[in-house]
Amino acid sequence: MTQGFRTERDSMGEMQVPEEAYYGAQTQRAALNFPISGIRFSRPFIKAMGLIKQAAAEVNMDLGQLDERLGAAIVKAAAEVAEGRFDGEFVLDIFQTGSGTSTNMNANEVIAHRACEILGEARTSKTVHPNDHVNMGQSSNDAVPTAIHVAALDLIEHDLLPAFRLLERGLSDKARQFDDVIKIGRTHLQDATPIRLGQEFGGYASQIAHGIRRVERSAEDLRELAIGGTAVGTGINTHPEFGRRMAERLSKLTGITFLEADNHFEAQAAKDAAVEMSGTLKTLAVSFFKIAQDIRLLGSGPRCGLGELIIPATQPGSSIMPGKVNPVICESVMMVCAQVFGNDVVVTAAGQHGNFELNVMMPVLTHNLLQSLELMAASARNFEDKLLRGLEVDRERAASLVEQSLAMVTALAPVIGYDRAAEIAKHSFETRRTVRELVLEEKVLPPEEVERLLDPWSQTEPGRG
C-alpha cells in the first residue's frame, strides 16, 4: 500500500487509487488517460445516472434477478448519488471514450463501494460488484443514452419551460402596459411607419410562445429511452421486460413520462432526438437574441441614442466614465445565445457519429446539450427579473421621433400619390422640417384632412386613415 493510495484491480491489472476515493480502478485508469480539459459531467447528468442505477436495482429485484439485500444497498447508494452527495467522485473529463463507458463505470464503482459501506462491509470488499450488481441488465451503450434523455427532459420540464413561460408572461405584461405608446417603426435600421410599443412587445411575446411550443414538440422524442438494448440494441444479457419496467420506474422517480424506445437500434445508434432538441434550442436562442438586442438598441443613449426605452440600471458601466450605465443584462443574454449557437454545432457534429450500432461522441454531445438547457433557463429568469420587470418607456422621446419621421408621409400616399409623397419626404429631409409642417404650409390637403391622415394611432391599424 502506497501512502495515501490503495491498490485496486480491474481487468487490465492493478491501479493505485486515492485512499479516500469511492471510485475504483477503471475510473482511475480513465482519469489518467484523459487529462484533457478539466470539464466534467454536470449535476443533471450525474443525477440521471444515479436515478438509472437506482431504478435498475429496483427493477432487477422485482424481476428476481438481484439479491434483495444487495439491491437495497444499491438503491440507497444510487439515491445518494442522484441527490448530489458524491458529485466530487465524478472526476472524469468530458473528452473521453465516446460511449461514456468510463463515466458509466465511475458511477458503478462509486455506488458499489458506497453500497458495501451501507452493508457494513469494507468499501473495497466487492460484496457489491460494480459490473455484476450495479450494472446488471445494462451496458454503457444504453445507460448513457438513457441518462442523456432523462437529464435533458428533467431540465426542460423543471427549468427551461418554466423559465420561458415566465418570460413570455413578462413580455405579454409589457405589451399591455405599453400598448398606448406610439413609436416609430424601423425596417433596415431606417425609419418606417408608426407602431405601438405594445405591438412590438406582443411580437416578442409571440416569438417566445412559438419557441415554447417548438421545445414541447421536440421533447416528445426524448421520452423514448434506450435502456433495455444493452450492447447493440438486441437486449442481450437482460430480462425481456427490463426496458419497459425501467421506463415505468424512471417515470415514477422523476414525475416525467418516459417510454421504452420503439426501436432499440435507433435509440442507441442515433442521437437524433438530442440533435433535434439542440436545434430547437438554437432557434429559441435566435429569438431571445433578437429580443435582447432590440431592447438594448431601443434603450441606447441616454441622450445620443434612440432612447425610447429606459433600461433598469444594475451596475456602473465604466471604469473611466462616471455615471455611465450599460445594458449588461441584454449583453449577458446575447453571449448565452452565442454559446448555444456554438453548442449546437458541436451537437450536430457529434450526432453524425452514430457509427453502425453506437454513437461515439456522446459525452461531448451531452455536455453541450445540457449546458444549452441550463444557460437558457438561467438567462431567461435573469432577464425577466433584472431587466424586464423594471423596463420603462420615455413617452415624450417616442412621440417626438414619430413626428420627426419622414415615414409619416406614407399615410398621404394613397391620397396624393406615391411620387408627390416622395417629393415631400425629400423636401422634409433637406429642410429638417416635419412632414406635417410642409404639407400644411404647401396646402397639399385641407388642414383637417392632414390631421386625420397623419394621426399616428390610425397608422398602427390596418386600412387607411
**Of 218, 318, 332, 400, which one is the catalytic site residue?**
318
**How do residues 336-356 score in pLDDT, each as one tens digit?**
999 999 999 999 999 999 999
Q: Which of 4-18, 192-206, 218-232 has the lowest mean pLDDT?
A: 4-18
Residue 464 pLDDT exceeds 60: no
Residues 6+ apart with CB under 8 A from 169: none
H helices present in 12-126, as ranges = 25-33, 43-62, 68-83, 101-118
**How do residues 259-272 score in pLDDT, each as one tens digit?**
999 999 999 999 99
pLDDT of 2 reads 47
Residue 324 pLDDT exceeds 50: yes
* Phi, psi of 40, deg, nearest 5: -115, 165
Residue 422 pLDDT exceeds 90: yes
**Of 102, 188, 239, 367, which one is the catalytic site residue?**
188
Would you kindly state where each structural domain of the chain is located, as residue ranges? 5-136, 142-395, 405-460
70: Cα within 13 Å, side-chain hemisphere: 22
pLDDT of 13 reads 93
Residues 6+ apart with CB under 8 A from 418: none
Catalytic residue status for 102: no
Q: Is residue 44 reached through a cis peptide bond, with omega within 30 degrees of 0 on the bond before it? A: no
CATH 1.20.200.10 is right for the domain spanning 142-395: yes
Residues 6+ apart with CB under 8 A from 368: 278, 343, 344, 346, 347, 350
Q: Which fold has domain 5-136?
A: Fumarase C; Chain B, domain 1 (1.10.275)
**How do residues 373-413 score in pLDDT, each as one tens digit?**
999 999 999 999 999 999 999 999 999 999 999 999 999 99
Percent of the chain scoring above 70 in pLDDT: 99
Residue 3 pLDDT exceeds 90: no
**How do residues 27-68 score in pLDDT, each as one tens digit?**
999 999 999 999 999 999 999 999 999 999 999 999 999 999
Element (H, E) at 17: strand 13-18
Of 178, 459, 192, the closest CA to residue 451 belongs to 459
Element (H, E) at 377: helix 362-383
Tell me how many degrees the CA angle 277-282-288 measures, rounded to the nearest 5. 125
Q: Could you tell me the three cell numbers for 123?
A: 468499501
Residue 1 pLDDT exceeds 80: no
Catalytic residue status for 319: no
Q: Which fold has domain 405-460?
A: Ribonucleotide Reductase Protein R1; domain 1 (1.10.40)
**How do residues 132-143 score in pLDDT, each as one tens digit?**
999 999 999 999
